[in-house]
Amino acid sequence: MMQVEAINCTSVSEFELDGFLNLGNYGILLFAIFLVTYLLILSANALIFSLISATPRLHVPMYFFIAVLATLEVFYTTVTMPRVLVDFLRSKKSISLSSCLLQIYFFHSLGISEACLLAVMAYDRFLAICAPLTYMTKMTPKLCVQLVLGCCVCGFVCPLPEIVLTSRLPFCGPSHIDHIFCDFPQVISLACTDLSTSIVLDFSLHALVILGPIFLILLSYMKILKVIVKINSSEGRQKAFSTCASHLIVVLTFFGTTGFMYMHLTWMGSGHYDKIVAVIYAFIIPLFNPIIYSLRNKEIRDVIRKIVSFPALACTSNM
């Protein structure tokens, strides 16, 4: 049946992104806002990576994973943001099917890699708090590299089945994608064939890559919580929890927005809401993650203060 439909319809090889419609005079303003956001994402994550790389006392597993996360955020945003910026300045926002699929693939590959890395970071905190005496012997540099490579392999392999399936779908029109960049739900919904298999596969993939890491993170933090409640001093409990607070904030924002976007079996006509959520998880979260880690992490704050040589902040910190 799919073959008959594909033969009888005109094949669409190019799509047009609707982006933010009816901007009027606000197009240039939004372009400026998104450009500043992108530059801040690049500079903030580059700063975190550079600080960790240049500071020997930060060469420990936790900061190694933070540096990798900062690197992923840069590539994750760069997959979509430059094209979004260009689209603000042109009336026809066309993109070929192959370019669209490539954007989807790298966007999801980097996103899944980040989700797996957040689970690894939770495991790292579990070992640091629940097994501090054996932490450094277990979380060796070799294991850290292997865990990061495992996250990347998982990230770049998981989207392949859906990319292959989507590339074989017949597209007969319409060719307008009601989104600011290419993504699975919006592209698949344009196919002129039965979408039940694609919808189930899309839901299953995102359920696996979202619920799997969430389960591992919850398991790690349940064990961490058991250890924290047994600590006698309130200062000790606060210190143990503070090492996890930044990671928990990042986890909640990342999985909260991606779960809202992808964990549903049907695709309704909620283009405006999808665009807002997409801006949050694709652009806002990569901007706030380095801010969260720098503001809530005393060692990173101390390194920044030392570099900028701002005595007033240093005195406040010592108090």
Closest CA to 16 of 101, 91, 105: 91
Q: Are 186 and 28 in contact (CB under 8 A)?
A: no
Q: Are 231 and 134 in contact (CB under 8 A)?
A: no
Residue 17, pLDDT above cutoff 50: yes
Closest CA to 186 of 23, 20, 15: 15
Q: Could you tell me the two tokens for 67?
A: 């540096």
Query: Mean pLDDT, to the nearest integer, of 298-305?
Result: 80
The amino acid present at 319, given as its one-letter code, is M
Residue 24, pLDDT above cutoff 70: no
Query: Mean pLDDT, to the nearest integer, of 170-182?
Result: 87
The amino acid present at 261, given as its one-letter code, is M
**C-alpha radius of gyration, the chain, whole number:** 22
pLDDT in tens, 256-280: 888 888 876 555 445 677 888 889 9
Q: Are 129 and 75 in contact (CB under 8 A)?
A: no
Place of tokens 């700063």: 47
Pure H helices in 170-310: 184-188, 196-229, 234-262, 271-279, 285-296, 298-308
pLDDT in tens, 82-128: 999 998 888 788 999 999 999 999 999 999 999 999 999 999 999 99
Distance, in Å, from the CA atom of 267 to the CA atom of 15, rounded to the nearest integer, reads 19
Q: Which listed CATH number (1.10.10.350, 3.40.50.300, 2.30.60.10, 1.20.1070.10) goes with 12-318?
A: 1.20.1070.10
The amino acid present at 308, given as its one-letter code, is V
Per-domain residue ranges of the chain? 12-318
Q: What is the pLDDT of residue 199?
A: 82
In order of 151, 226, 242, 267, 318, the CA distances from 126 in angstroms are 18, 11, 13, 38, 29
Q: Which residue has the higher pLDDT, 10 or 202?
A: 202
pLDDT in tens, 213-229: 999 999 999 999 888 88
pTM: 0.88
Distance, in Å, from the CA atom of 166 to the CA atom of 176, rounded to the nearest integer, reads 16
Q: Could you tell me the two tokens for 134?
A: 């054996």
Residue 5, pLDDT above cutoff 80: no
Residue 141, pLDDT above cutoff 50: yes
pLDDT in tens, 221-253: 999 988 888 877 777 777 777 778 888 888 998
Query: Mean pLDDT, to the nearest integer, of 292-312?
Result: 73
Q: What is the pLDDT of residue 315?
A: 47
Residue 9, pLDDT above cutoff 70: no
